[in-house]
Structure 1
Amino acid sequence: MSMSVPRTREPESGSDCHRTRLSDGRGRLAVWGLGYIGLSTATAFADVGVQVVGFDPAEQRVRSLTGINSRIAVSSEATDVLAADCCVHMIAVPTEREGEPFDGALSSVIADIAASLTKGDLRGTCPLVIIESTLTPGTTDELLLPILAEHGLKVGRDLLVGLAPRRDWFLAEGYSLRELDRVYGGVEARSAAATRAVLGLVNNILHQARTHHTCELVKCVENAFRHMDITLANELTLAYPDVDMVEVLRLAGTKWNIGTYHPSFGTGGYCIPLASRYLIRGAEHPEYLGLLRRTVETDDQMRLLVADAVRARPPVVILGVAYKGGIKVDILSPAKSIARSLRDRSVPVVVHDPLYDNAEIDGLLGPGLTTDDLPGALRSARSVLVIPDHSEFTGPEYVNNINYPREETLIVLDNHGVLADVAWADHVIYKRAGNKRWLDTEEDADI
């Protein structure tokens, strides 16, 4: 049974009213979720003069972000982003849990906003909600709009709803939020126009999807293509173990219409590993998505194959919890599933990442996998797995301890090739993912 919505005042009209309120200081921008995506959103808008309030339920994260920017207030209390002057709400909450699509956090945020629109500080303000999180196709119609309807809310009258999934890459020059093309959409025309106006503050190139259904699909489809290509690179290394597939793929990438892909321990991060799962889950006829199902299966298999390759050569040191170098993001990192697989088989393993302290690693993987003596662990290891391409790993505190003289052969498997140019000692057998027989460690006899 729907409720009637009390209206305290008529909202401003015009597609750019939300942008105007942000720009002239009469309104603030609320960011839900202060992970990598949400924090970068908050910073981008603050950099153009917008007052921002960010919410995250993790109190430790909020404490670490307090005072980072005079224009950004952070809080672990949802009431602080449900204030009447918060005219735009950017939602950047996780839509993944334990490697699968998960809508719990997203539905909770929408329910909080809806409740505040019916009886709280947002009542009658007609805020703009822009969802930056990646959605399973169909989520807007099947989950979000019904929540709003349960509160008697109508998009276009009581609030505006836009979608604008993030696709920028944070570490490479020229791939920032402002520089990259961005796709957006709205549930109806007014929502789309307002979304474009607000995003124009921080994005130079915007492409409108005709419907919000299209917008949901675009992010999933573009990353599913990458997921399949990367997984094919891994399947090729398994099918042709006597060939250096790194070189083959490098040469194949010289063709004008083919990208260069690299074999790996498996994909990681917010987007690529989940894209195929989102599409399978949201499809009307998932039975036709056999390629995506195989992609998911092979990607999961790679982590186990890497663990199998070194379990007979303990002790093992895993360098890196993050999935990619230079960023403190461990979402679906291969390191986590590899470490758990080895631990579950009672293989002695130590995990270290220069961006994480031991308490953080213990929180992610459980206690017992960290050490206060990394040099000692590296000097006694028989296998070292290098997961992200952290630049720190090329430093002497890592290389010298791996090269430290020992009687037994040491296997180094390098996911991204960050250590490919190191002058290795005779006892070190170094292999980058995709090199000839890179997963074959049993044939390497001790010295």
Structure 2
Amino acid sequence: CIVVWGAGFIGGTTAMAYASEGVKVYCYDINLDVVININRGYLPVTNLEFWFGASIKEFVDKNLIIATNKLDDLKNLSIACHFIAIPTEKDGEPYLDILYEVLNNILAVDNSNSLIIIESTLVPGTAVKLVEKFRIGDRLVISPRRDWFHSPEQNLKNLNRVFGCYNSNNNELVKQILGIVCDNLIQASSASVAEMVKSLENSLLHIPCVYVNQLKEAYPNLPIDECLRLASTHWRIPLYYPSFKTGGYCIPLSSKYILMGASNRSYLTIAKDAVEYDDYDSIKSVFDLIARYYDAQCNICLLGISYKGDLKVHQLSPSLPIINAYKNSGHFMVNDPYYTKEEVENKFGCQYIDLEELFSSKTDLNIKIIVIVSDHKVYKRIPRQWICDLGVKCIIDNYGIWAKYREFFNKNNINYYKPGDGQWKK
């Protein structure tokens, strides 16, 4: 069997991938609700069946996936390897305490030479520290996951996957284990190289995104989105889209990981500037637009907590600074179809509003400002007349999902703003 530590997006899909190949998987998670749900055949990962193409229930019913929050359940098992898929960030900063706890637990339940494969992103240099601290050099493998949860075609099976062993004698064994679920393995020369690759590739995505968002501020009256589209006709330039800010727990954190691990950090001025801009400056224009239309009598409605459409991931989402700024105003309400009323109220401290209530309420909600963060499909389908009937004066649209209504909004005196559209500060 294998043991997967952490049963979220990454851990849950690792478990399902191996179970689909007939491998028995034990999932350990400290969250009892997650454990109970998995053992009932439900993994609370948004759109999992669409992305994976199967339900976890079929594997639970076959006794191929068992979840537990008790370490004793993992003792005396014949374990081929451990997969670690836990968060390595906290409050938007790299954080290793959870990883240390998991490694202590692994050593407590399994003192054999079974491999320990870390799928989480690590600060460069962490592998060496882990070997020194836990004496696991003969067991340690670094193989961060690459996944794109919006496309079933880009998955664990067919995407390239880099791995690096601290002990090169394990290379062939790792190929056998990872090769069960991945067809495209790429061997790094060391564990240190493999851990660097993940942060590096994400930072190479992060820094251009920050530059694009800076362009929309530097040229607010120029349609930067069109400029970017035309620039992308050059065969070496990808298409970028301006937005409020970068979000999620991978891309915006990557430059912080690179900076934290560097022995000569002073050279990384571009990464440092990108982090500072994302942390402090990127969202300012959104606040300026809100302030232009906001008064003590009107309400603001935020559509979407998640940083990306049809996911339930709010880490470093552009929604968070907006929520923190207005949640105590008494004039702020939030909708996200992937978060319950209780989650919105208890986790984020906001008034929840259901979409049906928002657009069919018999009472005047006095919503003058709508801020759209997430490009959820359900938001894209909202009829333009419903929006107009709210009496909205200002719409700030992160992904431009209502740009198709721009002419209609103009005729109805609704001020519509999309990052990089040339109207950003008018």
Q: Smaller-chain TM-score range?
A: 0.7 to 0.9
Q: Greater CA deviation, 74-83 or 47-56?
A: 74-83
Cα–Cα, structure 1 residues 323 and 355, in superposed 2: closer, same or farther, change >3 Å? same
Quick check: 1:148 aligned with 2:134? yes
Q: 1:54, 1:421 → 2: CA distance?
A: 45
Quick check: 1:348 aligned with 2:341? no
Q: 1:58, 1:305 → 2: CA distance?
A: 38
Quick check: 1:419 aligned with 2:402? yes
Partner residue of 2:419 out of 417, 421, 433: 433
Classify the secondary structure of the residue corresponding to 1:421.
helix
- In structure 1, the partner of 2:306 is 322
Quick check: 1:386 aligned with 2:394? no
Query: Shift of residue 337 of structure 1?
Result: 1.9
Report Cα offsets for 1:64-108 as digits up to 9, x if no partner: 333233221112223334542232111000000000000011111
Q: Do the aligned partners of 1:163 and 1:215 also contact (CA within 8 Å) in 2?
A: yes
Q: 2:274, 2:86 → 1: CA distance?
A: 26
Q: Greater CA deviation, 56-65 or 245-254?
A: 56-65
- In structure 1, the partner of 2:123 is 136
Quick check: 1:227 aligned with 2:206? yes
Classify the secondary structure of the residue corresponding to 1:49.
coil
Classify the secondary structure of the residue corresponding to 2:259.
helix
Identical amino acids, percent of aligned pairs: 34
One-letter amino acid of the counterpart of residue 178, structure 1: K
- In structure 2, the partner of 1:63 is 36
Q: Do the aligned partners of 2:142 and 2:194 also contact (CA within 8 Å) in 1?
A: yes
One-letter amino acid of the counterpart of residue 322, structure 1: S
One-letter amino acid of the counterpart of residue 391, structure 1: K
Query: Shift of residue 364 of structure 1?
Result: 2.9
Q: 2:68, 2:292 → 1: CA distance?
A: 48
Report Cα offsets for 1:350-403 as digits up to 9, x if no partner: 11101111111233312x43235433599522111111111010234x754322
- In structure 2, the partner of 1:199 is 178
Report Cα offsets for 1:284-340 as digits up to 9, x if no partner: 011111100110111122124323321343321111111111111112111112211
Report Cα offsets for 1:128-161 as digits up to 9, x if no partner: 110000000011112x113323xxxx532xxx21
Q: How does 1:165-180 map to 2 (within 5 A)?
A: 165-180=144-159
Partner residue of 1:338 out of 322, 325, 348: 322
Partner residue of 2:255 out of 276, 279, 286: 276
Classify the secondary structure of the residue corresponding to 1:281.
helix
- In structure 2, the partner of 1:115 is 108
Q: Do the aligned partners of 1:110 and 1:147 also contact (CA within 8 Å) in 2?
A: no
Partner residue of 1:210 out of 161, 178, 189: 189
Q: Do the aligned partners of 1:30 and 1:55 also contact (CA within 8 Å) in 2?
A: yes
Partner residue of 2:290 out of 301, 310, 329: 310
One-letter amino acid of the counterpart of residue 303, structure 1: I
One-letter amino acid of the counterpart of residue 213, structure 2: N
One-letter amino acid of the counterpart of residue 359, structure 1: E
- In structure 2, the partner of 1:237 is 216
Q: 2:257, 2:201 → 1: CA distance?
A: 12
- In structure 1, the partner of 2:8 is 35
Classify the secondary structure of the residue corresponding to 2:158.
coil
Query: Shift of residue 36 of structure 1?
Result: 0.8
Q: 1:359, 1:164 → 2: CA distance?
A: 36
For normalisation by structure 2, the TM-score amounts to: 0.87
Cα–Cα, structure 1 residues 229 and 81, in superposed 2: closer, same or farther, change >3 Å? farther
Q: 1:78, 1:325 → 2: CA distance?
A: 36
Partner residue of 2:97 out of 100, 104, 112: 104
Q: How does 1:233-272 map to 2 (within 5 A)?
A: 233-272=212-251
Q: Do the aligned partners of 1:379 and 1:404 also contact (CA within 8 Å) in 2?
A: no
Partner residue of 2:352 out of 367, 370, 379: 370
Query: Shift of residue 347 of structure 1?
Result: 6.9
Quick check: 1:297 aligned with 2:276? yes
The alignment yields a C-alpha RMSD, in angstroms, of 2.0
Cα–Cα, structure 1 residues 259 and 136, in superposed 2: closer, same or farther, change >3 Å? same
- In structure 2, the partner of 1:92 is 85
For normalisation by structure 1, the TM-score amounts to: 0.83
Q: Do the aligned partners of 1:267 and 1:333 also contact (CA within 8 Å) in 2?
A: yes
Q: Do the aligned partners of 2:3 and 2:25 also contact (CA within 8 Å) in 1?
A: yes
One-letter amino acid of the counterpart of residue 249, structure 1: L
Q: 2:223, 2:256 → 1: CA distance?
A: 30
One-letter amino acid of the counterpart of residue 205, structure 2: R
Q: 1:77, 1:419 → 2: CA distance?
A: 48
Q: 1:197, 1:343 → 2: CA distance?
A: 51
Count residues in correspondence: 394
- In structure 1, the partner of 2:48 is none
Q: Do the aligned partners of 1:111 and 1:147 also contact (CA within 8 Å) in 2?
A: no
Query: Shift of residue 244 of structure 1?
Result: 0.9
Cα–Cα, structure 1 residues 59 and 95, in superposed 2: closer, same or farther, change >3 Å? same
Q: Do the aligned partners of 2:366 and 2:390 also contact (CA within 8 Å) in 1?
A: no
Classify the secondary structure of the residue corresponding to 2:194.
helix
Cα–Cα, structure 1 residues 83 and 299, in superposed 2: closer, same or farther, change >3 Å? farther
Cα–Cα, structure 1 residues 338 and 405, in superposed 2: closer, same or farther, change >3 Å? closer
